[in-house]
Amino acid sequence: MRHFCAVAALASFSFCMSAAMAGDGDAADLRLRIGSAEILKYAWSISSASDSVGKEDDKTFNLVADSTFGMTLVMRGLPGKKDAMPVAIRIKDQSYTDKRSIEQSKTELYVAKGKVKYIENGKVLIDSDNDIGLDKIGNYQQQLKNLEGSEMRVTLDSAGRQSDIQGDAIIVDAIKNGGAQGIFPILPGKEVRIGESWEDSFAMPKIGDFTLAKPVVVRSKATFTKWEDKGGKKFARIDIASSWDTPDLRGENKNGMLVEISKVDGRGYGSCLFDPASGKFVEGTIKFDLKYRIDGEHNGQRSGLDVTGKTNFSFAEQP
C-alpha cells in the first residue's frame, strides 16, 4: 500500500507521450504522479477476524475477535522539486467496530463520527448518544478528534517510497502501526512489460496489541500481469504476493505484559488497478493469512495463545 511522484517540466512531454500510448501494447509506465495542489481521496477499509485457542491458569479458553476499521484518506500535493513529490496526508470519517468473545463473555465496540457505544454481555456500558458512561471515554474521543485534526507530510518518489516524514505524532504513528511502509503498494517507478516483477520489503512494528522489540519484516513481490478494462477504461493490473520473515519475536502491550511470539506464518496476496495515464492507483484489495503462537507472563501469571487470523485490506479512489 503506498504513494506518488512529481514530474519535472522538462520530462513531462516525453512522459505524456508514453502515457498516451498506455494500454495499447504490452508495456506500461508505472510511476505515481500527483500535481501541486491536487487533492485525492481514497476510501479505505481494513477488516480482521481471528479464532484463537489459549490457556491461562491451566484453563483452556477460546477467543474469537472480529473488527473493521474504515476511513477516508485525503492527500494534497505540495510544491515539489524534480524527482520528488511532497504530499500532505489527513485521515477523515473514521469508523471502527470490534466484537470479541471469550467463552460466554462477549463485548462489542462501535465508533463512528466521534460517537462511541460499548456493550458488555448485552448491557450497554457506554453510549455517547445517550450520555451513558461519558466519564470513561473523554480522553478517547479527544484522541479521535486530534487524529482527524492532524496532518502528516512525506516526500514520495516515482515508486511511492517515503522520505522526510514529518507531522503530528498521532497520525504518523497511526499510519506506521497500520503495517505498511507507506500508502500504496510500491511501484517499479519506470516502464515495465507484462509479466515483469519487482520486489519490496517493509518493517511492521506491531502484532495485534503488542509492540515488537524488533519489527517483523514483510517481503512482497509485485507483477504487472495484464491490462484490465473497467468502466470503459483500460488499467494496468498488478498482482501482489507477500510473506513474513519468521524469526521468533518479543513484544510488550500497554499493560506491560511481555510476550514471546513464535511459529509465525504470515502470507498475503491480492491485486490492484493502476492508471498509467493519470499516474494514480484506482483500487486494490489485499488479503493476509496469519498464524502464530504467543506466550507471556504478567504479575506472575503465565498464559499462551495459538492465533489463526485473516485480514482484508481494500482501497478505492473517490470522486
Q: What integer pLDDT is reported at residue 17 of this predicted model?
A: 34
By the 8 A CB rule, do 309 and 293 touch?
no
Q: Which of 147, 138, 172 is nearest to 71 (CA)?
A: 147
By the 8 A CB rule, do 237 and 230 touch?
no
- Domain locations in the chain? 9-318
Mean pLDDT to the nearest integer, 76-86? 85
Residue 254 above 80 pLDDT?
yes
Confidence at 82, pLDDT banded by 50, 70, 90: confident
Q: What is the pLDDT of residues 197-249, one digit of tens each?
A: 999 988 888 887 788 999 888 899 999 999 999 989 999 999 999 998 877 89
Residue 123 above 50 pLDDT?
yes
Residue 202: exposure state from Cβ atoms within 10 A (0-12, 13-18, ≥19): buried
DSSP string, 247-274: --EEEE-TT--EEEEEEEEEEEEEEEEE
- Which of 4-13, 172-181, 217-226 is predicted most confidently? 217-226
Residue 281: strand pairing partners? 274
Mean pLDDT to the nearest integer, 91-117? 92
By the 8 A CB rule, do 290 and 310 touch?
yes
Residue 20: exposure state from Cβ atoms within 10 A (0-12, 13-18, ≥19): exposed
Q: What integer pLDDT is reported at residue 256 of this predicted model?
A: 84
Q: What is the pLDDT of residues 15-73, one digit of tens each?
A: 333 333 344 579 999 999 999 989 999 999 999 999 999 887 778 889 999 999 999 99
Residue 175 above 80 pLDDT?
no
- Give the whole-number percent of the chain exceeding pLDDT 90: 55
Q: What integer pLDDT is reported at residue 179 of this predicted model?
A: 42
The answer to whether domain 9-318 has CATH 2.30.30 is no
Q: Is the pTM of this model over 0.75?
A: yes
Looking at residue 38, the DSSP 8-state letter turns out to be -
By the 8 A CB rule, do 85 and 5 touch?
yes
